[in-house]
Structure 1
Amino acid sequence: MSAIGAYGFLSDCSSAALVDTSGSIDWWCVPRFDSPSVFGRLLDAGAGHWRLAPAAEFTSTRDYVGDSLVLRTVLRTDDGAVAVTDALGMQPGARGHDIGMRPPHVLLRAVEGLEGSVEMGVEVAPRLEYGLTLPRWQPLEEGAWGARAGPVELRLTADVALTPDVGDLHGRFTVSAGERRTFRLAYTPSYADAGQADPAGCGADGWSALQDTAQAWQSWADLHPGYQGRHRRLVRRSSLVLQGLTYQRSGAVIAAATTSLPEEPGGELNWDYRFAWLRDVSLTLQALWVAACPDEADRFFHWLAGALGEVGDRPLQIMYGVQGERDLTEHDLDHLDGHRGSRPVRVGNDAWKQRQLDVMGEVLFAAHLLRDQIGDFSETVQGLLVALADQAARDWHLPDAGMWESRGQPRHYTTSKVLCWVALDRAIALADRLGPHARPQEWARTRDEIRAEVLARAWSERAGAYAGALGSDSLDASILLLPLLGFLPADDPRMLATIEAVRRELSDGTLVRRWDGDTAGFLICSFWLVECLALAGRVEEASRWFDRLAERANDLGLLSEEVDAATGELLGNFPQAFSHVGLINAAWRLTEATGQQGFDEMQ
């Protein structure tokens, strides 16, 4: 398996695959982001892969095709050069907002000869259900192979000769300049209806399918050309990544495409991020608004209302499956060694059981920000937002797990209180659109009570800063959210002191750790510091920090959750929505601070 930063990201807005610089697809979960893997070498050497690469030693360079998630890798040997193009296929002819609505679940690969002649090797080695099941390949019509194992049926079509060998298909072939070879690997459930047996796109010409998929992505990007601010290219790439992490049928956005990539190599902090956190979806919508891609707002709130059902007096669940599933119970896959020996490998995430009080504020922040895109709130959305405001007013004084999802004793985290303040502040601002059950006067009294409590108890004289929890002296980088949420101005003397304390105590270069003792720099915290510096008028300094953070992305502009300050290695699940959200918002904040564009309604 390769280092995390070596991977490129493929998506059909339903499932995701990762392909490394050596031409190996080491991760594909299908038909949903959170489905068991077909290729899982990312987490164990024996859990399946699909390698397509020169037989001799080679070097590689790569980039996405235009504004798409179609990846083109140029491989050079002493004898010549080829280009390998990879994608998860879209439904033929899908364009604009329709991309990813009915994906055919087909991995597309093509080899083009560029110079000389290159001998290529191909090894297709699926290991289904996270490596538990070995498929048996059977020849079909000419150029086609089929395999069924457990609940999965695969169909591979190729215009090169292949040989089966204990669950694998192998082949060698030569590509000369001007020649092309294509491969299509299609998934269907083993017991699909007859009409599903040959997915749309499986029988299409492979090269045409790749071209059509690139055009589908470009058509989506062309609908959102509006952002003209600083770091436009990076913002555009990050918005495409966020779209690729969106389960298009529901509008839910997953936190990352992977499970159990470690926060520390060889460590135990390995979590499944293939679910939709309300926090992440709300922040993603805010970032897409900045990037002039706000069209998902209606669908998100429709999904959210359906996932939550009747809120009532129950604590708000913080995360769901992409179709609104509630039970995400966690278990370990003991048969997998983990990425670079990082165990356990986990499927599911028990954080779904936690109380996290910040979530209500993040959802109401997004509703307020996107109010013009949403239009008139339906009665269902009105009821939902009122219920969230009421819950923030009722529960703000309780301890919780905090936004970093501590599995220890609940505490009175400062940002949890502040985001309850945000929930009520934005609900008051939306009161005339929330129907007859809105209670702005009651909400205002509680909002003011929360503010007074935070200002009185979050400040630590010993730390000379606002602390991570009420009555504590310990710093937490989440405090950087206070000016970003409008709770305090960045140039407030105590807020300035807090920003400086975070820089002094929690930063390694431009990487900001969440707390003292955290193992690596957390990228969204680092981008929050950029925003705070920009809001405080220190724009040149903020720009330098942003530029150095942007260099932490891999060669394709992809970011994980964390970065090892000593080695620069990307760590944690990948690609990470949170980190790309942070990049977009920091770029926008720098743009606004220099007067190039203004989005005053952000706060």
Structure 2
Amino acid sequence: MTTTAIADYAMLSDRHSAALVAKDGTIEWLCMPRFDSPSIFAAMLDDDAGSWSIRPSGPYTVSRRYMDATLVLQTMFETGTGTLVLTDALATGADADPHRLGASAPHLVLRSATCVRGSVEVDVRYRPRPEYGLVTPLMSVLDGGIRSRGGCGQTILSSPVDLVITREEATATVTLAAGEVLRFALRWAALDEPEPQVCGTEEIAAALEATLTSWRSWSKAHQRYEGHYLGLVRHSGRILQGLSYQPTGAIVAAATTSLPEEPGGKRNWDYRYAWIRDASFTMDALWVAACPDEASEFFSFMTTAAAAYEPGRTLQIMFGIGGERDLTERELPHLRGWRNSWPVRTGNAAWRQPQIDVYGALLGAAYRLADQLSWADSDERGFLVALADAAAHQWSRPDHGIWEIRGDPRHYVYSKVMCWVAVDRAIALADRLDAAGHLPRWCRARDEIRRVVLADGWSEEAGAFTQAFHSPDLDASVLMMPIVGFLPADDPRMLATIDAVAKRLTGENGLVYRYRNEDGLEGGEGTFVLCTFWLAQALALAGRVAQAREVFETAISYVNDVGLLAEEIEPGTGEQLGNFPQAFSHIGLINAAWAIDGALAEEQILC
């Protein structure tokens, strides 16, 4: 059974795929050539599903960091005899243009082990298991490495030491003295491509240096946030960039599948796809944390993925990162799951759900990013107009809501508010959209949505806006009402709602649950990181800066040692839960920090 804590992972990304590295120097998750490809290593989901470790043979203590302004990881092992530094990266390639980070990524894992003090005996253990652990590949020795063939790909492990191959794995033990370096690389190629070549030591060193340069060039060209939480916000911006798929502009919700919402539970979903909502919010957050020069690529991807979209039907809420529509969900019964959290799933059945809030997410992002978009493309303008028309037409329908509850559709307040956002932002963009003729209908819809939400979304019993019309159940998603400008944060009804969420949805760990009512799914879940940041943001907008900072700093206290957040936090143990790293969590951090900065600046003006 996999025992690695979710918070013990760090992510590597080349903007095509991702790897997760545990604190002990083991890569326990790697998919190539895409985020959603079948895994090569999946030990985080089953001990027998593949891994690659480089670590000292004997006892050690560990510290880690990302190298400055990059997603290149350094792990320092202190032993009784010396110090070993392990440097890990997914090679981005060497594009001179910082706006094309990862465009020439060679599907190459880079690992360098350097003894910086004394001497260290190092164990290397390589256990590839393609196709989510189904395949034990054929391994054979090459001059300078190991060839592996099996499943839908082939890999070459470049190794400076001789590895002993058994049926299960390839291993080596070597002693390094101070100043000595071992450089490894793992290159992937499809079966119908030429066999990858072994990388020499100098080639690996050059690829690592190019990756460092690429990330630092991107950070220097893009990252302009200068607020109170500079380190966290800029790092979160890099994480969001690392969750984007460079070839199409798609953005995944997380790098993993089936990390559970409670240990041993069944709420285990595949998040390696492009949700319209999550991706739109990511683009919006990058406006704060980094210059979002990928905005045009993202909207081009959305326009293409939703090709032939018609306002009379519901927009599909998510797509594959290559624009795929069919994301049929299936279970992988051979995998035991993280800490026996079964089933493990690929695909996601939510792709079939109607969720009308996505119109507002897309048009909200288009409004925020208007200056970064090219408005010459008539297809994209027409797509955004069609979205606004759809929101104006469909807002009164029930749906499955932001939390994708797998029961009967309901009239969720958040969904209605985001339809209001869709038509409100479309009205503001009408000139750029060449849509003056649509304004009367959009204005009527905006006014009607507002009237109905204020009447039916408010519960006298709860003393707050609630999850759904005529329901007493609280839901943290209504905190978005002031964030998107539906109501001022200091409106008495909004203040009452903020107080109700803070009082009745906050867990013992100081973080916020999404909701507390039954949702028709088996098992439970932890407190939700994004919702906690929403509370901090709403408090800041309401002028309650001290309380906002307290909530914010409670949330960031759960960031792991390398600045990453999963989806949820277990309220009793403080353990991170859910897929990792989670775009939503880092989006929430960025936006809450921005709101707190604004509130602090306003306080200074008033003083």
Please, what TM-score do these two structures have when normalized by structure 2? 0.96
What residue identity is the alignment partner of 1:424?
V
Q: Which residue of 2 aligns with 1:178?
A: 179
Report the Cα offset of residue 296 of structure 1: 1.3
Report the Cα offset of residue 437 of structure 1: 6.8
Q: Which residue of 2 aligns with 1:153?
A: 154
Report the Cα offset of residue 314 of structure 1: 2.5
Question: Which of the residues 51, 54, 60 maps onto 1:52?
Answer: 54
Report the Cα offset of residue 362 of structure 1: 0.6
Q: Tell me if structure 2 keeps the 8 A contact 1:268–1:342.
A: yes
Q: Tell me if structure 2 keeps the 8 A contact 1:564–1:571.
A: yes
Q: Report the Cα distance in structure 2 between the residues aligned to 1:447 and 1:200, rounded to whole angstroms.
A: 61
Q: Tell me if structure 2 keeps the 8 A contact 1:591–1:597.
A: no
Q: Report the Cα distance in structure 2 between the residues aligned to 1:402 and 1:221, rounded to whole angstroms.
A: 35
Q: Report the Cα distance in structure 2 between the residues aligned to 1:227 and 1:466, rounded to whole angstroms.
A: 33
Q: Which residue of 2 aligns with 1:231?
A: 229
Q: Which residue of 1 aligns with 2:400?
A: 401
Q: Tell me if structure 2 keeps the 8 A contact 1:201–1:209.
A: no
Q: Which residue of 2 aligns with 1:571?
A: 577
Q: Which residue of 2 aligns with 1:483?
A: 482
SS in 2 for 1:295: coil
Q: Which residue of 2 aligns with 1:513?
A: 513
Q: Which residue of 2 aligns with 1:296?
A: 294
Asked if residue 428 in structure 1 is aligned to residue 407 in structure 2, the reply is: no
Report the Cα offset of residue 204 of structure 1: 5.5
Q: Which residue of 2 aligns with 1:287?
A: 285
Q: Tell me if structure 2 keeps the 8 A contact 1:251–1:296.
A: yes
SS in 1 for 2:293: coil
Q: Report the Cα distance in structure 1 between the residues aligned to 2:510 and 2:44, rounded to whole angstroms.
A: 29
Q: Tell me if structure 1 keeps the 8 A contact 2:158–2:199.
A: no
Q: Which residue of 1 aligns with 2:93?
A: 91
Q: Report the Cα distance in structure 2 between the residues aligned to 1:21 and 1:238, rounded to whole angstroms.
A: 20
- Report matched runs for 1:340-351 at 5 Å: 340-351=339-350
Question: Which of the residues 600, 603, 606 maps onto 1:594?
Answer: 600
SS in 1 for 2:85: strand
Asked if residue 538 in structure 1 is aligned to residue 553 in structure 2, the reply is: no
| 448-457 vs 373-382, which moves further | 373-382
SS in 2 for 1:242: helix
Q: Report the Cα distance in structure 2 between the residues aligned to 1:436 and 1:19, rounded to whole angstroms.
A: 49
In the TM superposition, what whole-angstrom CA distance separates every residue of 1:412-469 from its partner, at most 9, and x where no partner exists? Answer: 0001011111101111111111125750111101111111000001111111111110
What residue identity is the alignment partner of 2:37?
S
Q: Tell me if structure 2 keeps the 8 A contact 1:44–1:338.
A: yes
Report the Cα offset of residue 199 of structure 1: 6.8
Report the Cα offset of residue 532 of structure 1: 0.7
SS in 1 for 2:488: coil
SS in 2 for 1:223: helix
Asked if residue 41 in structure 1 is aligned to residue 47 in structure 2, the reply is: no
SS in 2 for 1:454: helix
Q: Tell me if structure 2 keeps the 8 A contact 1:81–1:116.
A: yes
Report the Cα offset of residue 152 of structure 1: 1.2
- Report matched runs for 1:383-394 at 5 Å: 383-394=382-393
Report the Cα offset of residue 548 of structure 1: 1.7
SS in 2 for 1:205: helix
Gaps in structure 2 of 5+ consecutive residues: 518-523
- Report matched runs for 1:272-351 at 5 Å: 272-312=270-310, 313-351=312-350
Report the Cα offset of residue 201 of structure 1: 6.9
Q: Which residue of 1 aligns with 2:521?
A: none
The 3 A distance-change label for structure 1 pair 201 and 320 is: farther
Report the Cα offset of residue 150 of structure 1: 2.5
Report the Cα offset of residue 373 of structure 1: 1.3
Q: Tell me if structure 2 keeps the 8 A contact 1:377–1:434.
A: no
Question: Which of the residues 189, 197, 212 maps onto 2:210?
Answer: 212
Question: Which of the residues 78, 81, 96 maps onto 1:79?
Answer: 81
Question: Which of the residues 54, 70, 73 maps onto 2:72?
Answer: 70
Q: Report the Cα distance in structure 1 between the residues aligned to 2:514 and 2:397, rounded to whole angstroms.
A: 22
Q: Tell me if structure 1 keeps the 8 A contact 2:301–2:323.
A: yes
What residue identity is the alignment partner of 1:15?
S
Q: Report the Cα distance in structure 1 between the residues aligned to 2:482 and 2:557, rounded to whole angstroms.
A: 26
Q: Report the Cα distance in structure 2 between the residues aligned to 1:431 and 1:41, rounded to whole angstroms.
A: 51
Report the Cα offset of residue 595 of structure 1: 1.5
Q: Report the Cα distance in structure 2 between the residues aligned to 1:438 and 1:38, rounded to whole angstroms.
A: 53
Q: Which residue of 2 aligns with 1:241?
A: 239
| 334-343 vs 538-547, which moves further | 538-547
In the TM superposition, what whole-angstrom CA distance separates every residue of 1:223-260 from its partner, at most 9, and x where no partner exists? Answer: 11321112011001000000100001111110000000
Q: Between the two proteins, what is the percent identity of the paired residues?
A: 49
SS in 2 for 1:115: strand
SS in 2 for 1:173: strand
- Report matched runs for 1:409-488 at 5 Å: 409-436=408-435, 438-488=437-487
| 522-531 vs 290-299, which moves further | 290-299
What residue identity is the alignment partner of 1:530?
A
Report the Cα offset of residue 543 of structure 1: 1.1
Report the Cα offset of residue 94 of structure 1: 5.1
Q: Tell me if structure 1 keeps the 8 A contact 2:459–2:470.
A: yes
| 154-163 vs 589-598, which moves further | 589-598
Q: Report the Cα distance in structure 2 between the residues aligned to 1:468 and 1:199, rounded to whole angstroms.
A: 56
Q: Report the Cα distance in structure 2 between the residues aligned to 1:22 and 1:436, rounded to whole angstroms.
A: 57
Please, what TM-score do these two structures have when normalized by structure 1? 0.96
Q: Report the Cα distance in structure 1 between the residues aligned to 2:98 and 2:602, rounded to whole angstroms.
A: 28
The 3 A distance-change label for structure 1 pair 285 and 126 is: same
SS in 2 for 1:130: coil
Report the Cα offset of residue 597 of structure 1: 12
What is the CA RMSD across the aligned residues, in angstroms? 1.6
SS in 1 for 2:392: helix
Q: Report the Cα distance in structure 1 between the residues aligned to 2:102 and 2:199, rounded to whole angstroms.
A: 13
The 3 A distance-change label for structure 1 pair 88 and 351 is: same
Asked if residue 556 in structure 1 is aligned to residue 562 in structure 2, the reply is: yes
Report the Cα offset of residue 310 of structure 1: 1.9
Q: Report the Cα distance in structure 2 between the residues aligned to 1:58 and 1:175, rounded to whole angstroms.
A: 15
| 47-56 vs 535-544, which moves further | 535-544
Q: Report the Cα distance in structure 1 between the residues aligned to 2:44 and 2:167, rounded to whole angstroms.
A: 21
Q: Tell me if structure 1 keeps the 8 A contact 2:234–2:290.
A: no
SS in 2 for 1:528: helix
The 3 A distance-change label for structure 1 pair 151 and 480 is: same
In the TM superposition, what whole-angstrom CA distance separates every residue of 1:531-561 from its partner, at most 9, and x where no partner exists? Answer: 1110111111111221121111100000000
What residue identity is the alignment partner of 2:32?
V
Q: Which residue of 1 aligns with 2:112?
A: 110
Q: Report the Cα distance in structure 1 between the residues aligned to 2:15 and 2:96, rounded to whole angstroms.
A: 12
Q: Report the Cα distance in structure 1 between the residues aligned to 2:90 and 2:478, rounded to whole angstroms.
A: 39
Q: Which residue of 2 aligns with 1:601?
A: none
SS in 1 for 2:132: helix
Q: Report the Cα distance in structure 2 between the residues aligned to 1:440 and 1:107, rounded to whole angstroms.
A: 52
In the TM superposition, what whole-angstrom CA distance separates every residue of 1:206-237 from its partner, at most 9, and x where no partner exists? Answer: 22221221111111101113211120110010
The 3 A distance-change label for structure 1 pair 451 and 201 is: farther
Q: Which residue of 1 aligns with 2:520?
A: none
The 3 A distance-change label for structure 1 pair 559 and 464 is: same
